[in-house]
Amino acid sequence: MASLNVGNLGEYLREQRRNAQLSLRQLAEAAGVSNPYLSQIERGLRKPSADVLQQVAKALRISAETLYVRAGILDAERDRDEVETRAVILADPTLDERQKQVLLQIYESFRKENGYGAGADAGGTSIPDDRPPVAEGGGAGPRETAG
């Protein structure tokens, strides 16, 4: 995992806030964080948690994953495709917020099923593996059972 790149994150947040035409105070209120704390994040003096980044991303209507990459929480190379897919889903104006969240949950469950999901995702959920265990050693292999 990369080290936190707080300065780059702060610059990016300031740029996104200005693009959204929000004052620092407006963004802090929308994200549910204090004005001084958000100011310190923008100036690169504070390392925000993933939860705070998620709140700020929601207030800015941008992908939380993008902020995670900027902060060094996610590895940009390894997670680029996932981040881009999530960003496209979140940016789709034809979907409401509930539909976007459902699509993201389905997407994550398929990634986990295929062995690409994060070990501890933001939701803290994991998909159980219902496949029978594979026998080790040199047996005759799996048997089919009626049932």
Task: Map out the domains of the chain with their CATH numbers.
Answer: 6-113 (1.10.260.40)
Per-residue pLDDT for 56 more than 90? yes
Largest CA distance in the chain: 68
Q: What is the structure's pLDDT at 106?
A: 93
Tens of pLDDT, residue by residue over 66-84, are 888 888 877 766 666 777 7
Q: What is the structure's pLDDT at 76?
A: 62
This prediction has a pTM of: 0.51
34 vs 90 pLDDT, higher one:
34
Tens of pLDDT, residue by residue over 102-137, are 999 999 899 888 877 654 344 433 333 443 444 444
Tens of pLDDT, residue by residue over 14-47, are 999 999 999 999 999 999 999 999 999 999 998 8
Q: What is the structure's pLDDT at 74?
A: 75
Q: How far apart are the first and last CA of the chain?
A: 45
Per-residue exposure over 44-81, b if at least 16 CB sit within 10 Å of its own CB, e if not: eebebeeebbbbbbebbebbbbbbbbbbbbbeeeebee
4 vs 8 pLDDT, higher one:
8
